[in-house]
Amino acid sequence: MTNAKNAVALALAALCCGLAQADTGKLLLTGGVSSIDGAAGGGLTPWAVIGTNATEGEIGASAHVTRASTQDYGLTTYGAALGFKDRIELSVARQDFNAAPSIALNGIAPFGVTPGQHIKMDILGVKVRVAGDAVLDSDTLMPQIAVGLEYKHTRPGSLGSVFNFLGTRTSGVDVYVSATKLFLAQGILVNGTLRATKANQNGLLGFGSNAPGRDSYSLQPEFSVAYLLSKNVAIGAEYRFKPNNLESLGRAAGLGDALREDNWKDIFIAWAPSKNLSLTLAYVDLGRVVPGITGNRKQTGAYLSAQVAF
């Protein structure tokens, strides 16, 4: 996908400019960390903050790499973001999902899934802050509000035949609105995001479904809460509702809840050892992810992310 490559190149070029440039002036951690989809926020959900260290009148850049691994799956994400004047954020991310257990699908039908299959997904994101200042407007309840869009394109490889069977498309667009508020005196940050999406497992299993699965957009809320332990350490938790579009299709095909999708949650600790580096460690619970091929196990595990920002 050359678009994504160009965007990465652009972001990296900006990053190098950022290195050479004078200091950008956001307060520590107030640009959030990089979510798995590349947008600034928590780990699993975007926030209304504009990423990078750039505040008003400045341009900043960030890059991140994230690894999450659970009982049966693994996900590696890397990407970059540009922040313009604390107003507009452009992000690009590439995900590599180890879907090796999907070989078991060949037992259901001759899908021709190859061993060790990975699913790749590219995500282009744009986010615009429309109102408020999450940090400095500490005398009002008014949060910072942003709207965002994520274009996702999935490459399922030999799982393409499964996508066809399920009637899921390989690209989709999520639209979301986020509200973020730091209760400064208490050191508590709260975020709520409402996402309109057709994505199955965030898009890794495509978008939409054949009937009787759900093929339309649905609204899914996502919540984060964080507590500042010090200037550069925050702990928190997230909860992200998911659409579960495919389960009824699986049920109709006699597969029971084999295609069920559960809500995602995590608890995290984020540490910024310097203005330019942040590390996030989390325990994630992704619920069941295609439980029909993973012994109905819940997928839980560790999540580690590193971000550099200028």
Partner 1 sequence: MKKTLIALMLATCGLAMAQTAPTDTLYKTFGEKPGLVKLMDDFMVRLLADPRTGPHFKPSNQQRVKEQLVDQFCQVMGGPCVYKGADMKSAHANLDIKKSDFNALVEVLQLSMDAQGIPFRAQNQLLAQLAPMHRDTITEK
HSE-CB at 87 with a 13 A cutoff on CA atoms is 6
| Near partner 1 by CB under 8 A: residue from 65, 135, 194, 269 | 135
34/78 Cα distance (integer angstroms): 9
Among 52-60, 145-153, 196-204, 206-214, which window interacts with partner 1 (CB under 8 A)?
Answer: 52-60
- What x-and-dash track marks residues 64-103 binding partner 1 by CB under 8 A? ----------------------x-----------------
Minimum CB–partner distance for residue 263 and partner 1 (Å): 7
Q: Where are the alpha helices (DSSP H) in the chain?
A: 2-20, 160-166, 247-252
Query: Is residue 194 close enough to count as binding partner 1 by CB under 8 A?
Result: no
Pick the binder of partner 1 from 4, 21, 25, 269 (CB under 8 A). 25
Stretch that binds partner 1, among 6-14, 93-101, 163-171, 179-187 (CB under 8 A): 179-187
Give the C-alpha distances (Å, rounded to integers) separating 84 from 32, 45, 50, 65, 278: 15, 21, 8, 21, 20
Return the bridge partners of 270, or none.
234, 280
Rounded distance, CA 196 to CA 220, Å? 6
Residue 264: count other Cβ atoms within 10 Å of its Cβ.
23
Query: Is 248 in contact with 261 (CB distance < 8 Å)?
Result: no
Determine the size of the site formed for partner 1 (CB under 8 A).
37
Find out whether 306 and 43 touch, Cβ atoms under 8 Å. Answer: no
Chain centroid, CA 86 distance in Å:
20
Of residues 210-269, which lie at the interface with partner 1 (CB under 8 A)? 223, 225, 228-231, 237, 239, 263, 265
Q: Minimum distance between the CB of residue 249 and partner 1, rounded to whole angstroms?
A: 24
Closer residue to partner 1 (CB): 65 or 267: 267
Q: Tell whether residue 273 is a contact of partner 1 (CB under 8 A).
A: no
Q: Which residues in this chain contact partner 1 in the complex, by CB under 8 A?
A: 23-28, 55-58, 86, 133, 135-141, 181, 183-188, 190, 223, 225, 228-231, 237, 239, 263, 265
